[in-house]
């Protein structure tokens, strides 16, 4: 007999992942030894909008934010929102099939960046990874999880402003503070890193995801003052990879950019910005952005990234699950 525990509704895919992971362990004779499998959905729902009225192509592909679909809400993004365009029904003798065309920006919502997402003026490594989503393998998209939890430090900083993100004078998530992922955080997990590891950071910042947007408005972006990976943390992670001869699969966070907000170099995005992307993608890392439910994760879980498999795309929305046993 197997014992399952899920944080969200158990779909057939979830059950298949759990059963595959669990194998034939456990029995009626000794149920206390049966593993409990938890499958965590790390993805935010995508929200959709009707297209803008008009005959111009630009209108048909742009979201009309006054016409949300099924209670959709805008979210913070570097792109437009997702557009849902109904197309004529496909009739049969017993009814009709409902059909839609969707226009989905690559970096909207929970998403993955592949190596080809960033093309450097001066590459930081020889032969930088320039693959797109369709080039990624199963090994690229799965692997063990190592968690860095800075949620308590983030909460402590937010408490200075009654729990709300504020300007840097009120809540400081600058790269030189302890409110971001530091080199010391990387040192603390160094012994757990191996080939294909996913380093996932829980900041607690996803609590502001649904109260922001469009564009870079709202507390989730907070004037690009939010927690994430500092440049020194990225540098330390690369040092460990190099010294141990390993290559992780990538990094992720429950924020907009994986990089800490200050590291984006906003609003100019000048040279030196986005160190996680600039250095990591070239090495073959993948970036997982806008993650949800990261508080449920723990080191030892296995990540499954459901990246879309379409040619020509270098980033895109992903349904991401973690399978955890205890």
Question: Rounded to the nearest 5 degrees, what angle is found at the Cα of 91, between the Cα atoms of 89 and 97?
Answer: 55
On the question of pLDDT at 308 being above 70, the answer is yes
Asked if residues 34 and 25 have their Cβ atoms less than 8 Å apart, the reply is yes
Domain ranges of the chain: 3-41, 48-103, 111-325
Closest to 255 in 3D by CA, of 292, 298, 307: 292
Count the neighbouring beta carbons within 10 Å of the beta carbon of residue 141.
22
Between β-strands 250-253 and 95-103, what pairing exists: parallel, antiparallel or unpaired?
A: unpaired
pLDDT on residue 30: 55
How far apart, in Å, are the Cα atoms of 231 and each of 14, 128, 245, 273? 35, 19, 21, 9
Assign domain 111-325 to its CATH architecture. 3-Layer(bba) Sandwich (3.50)
Place of tokens 């592949």: 114
Q: Is 95 left (phi over 0), alpha (psi -120 to 50) or beta?
A: left
Give the SS3 label for residue 58: helix
On the question of pLDDT at 234 being above 50, the answer is yes
pLDDT tens-digit map of 30-83: 556 788 999 999 999 999 999 998 767 667 789 999 999 999 999 999 999 999
* pTM for this entry: 0.89
Give the SS3 label for residue 11: coil
């Amino acid at each position: 007999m197997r014992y399952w525990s899920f944080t969200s509704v158990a779909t057939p895919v979830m059950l298949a992942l759990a059963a595959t992971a669990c194998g034939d362990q456990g029995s009626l004779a000794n149920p206390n030894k049966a593993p409990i499998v938890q499958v965590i959905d790390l993805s935010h729902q995508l929200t959709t909008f009707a297209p803008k009225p008009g005959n111009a192509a630009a209108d048909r592909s742009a979201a009309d934010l006054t016409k949300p679909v099924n209670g959709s809400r805008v979210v913070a993004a570097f792109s437009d929102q997702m557009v849902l365009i109904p197309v004529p029904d496909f009739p049969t003798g017993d009814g009709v099939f409902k059909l839609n065309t969707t226009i989905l920006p690559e970096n909207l919502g929970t998403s993955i960046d592949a190596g080809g997402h960033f093309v450097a003026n001066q590459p930081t490594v020889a032969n930088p990874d320039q693959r797109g989503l369709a080039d990624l393998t199963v090994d690229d998209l799965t692997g063990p999880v190592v968690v860095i939890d800075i949620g308590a430090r983030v909460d402590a900083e937010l408490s200075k402003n009654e729990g709300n993100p504020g300007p840097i004078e009120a809540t400081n998530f600058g790269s030189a503070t302890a409110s971001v992922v530091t080199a010391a955080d990387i040192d603390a997990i160094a012994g757990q890193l191996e080939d294909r590891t996913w380093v996932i950071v829980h900041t607690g910042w996803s609590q502001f995801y649904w109260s922001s947007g469009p564009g870079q408005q709202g507390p989730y972006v907070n004037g690009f003052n939010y927690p994430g990976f500092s440049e020194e943390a990225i540098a330390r992670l690369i040092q460990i990879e190099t010294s141990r001869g390993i290559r992780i699969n990538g990094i992720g966070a429950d924020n907009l950019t994986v990089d800490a907000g200050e590291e984006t170099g906003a609003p100019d995005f000048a040279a030196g910005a986005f160190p996680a992307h600039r250095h990591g993608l070239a090495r073959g890392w993948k970036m997982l952005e806008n993650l949800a439910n990261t508080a449920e994760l723990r080191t030892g879980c296995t990540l499954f990234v459901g990246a879309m498999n379409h040619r020509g795309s270098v980033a895109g929305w992903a349904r991401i699950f973690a399978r955890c046993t205890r």
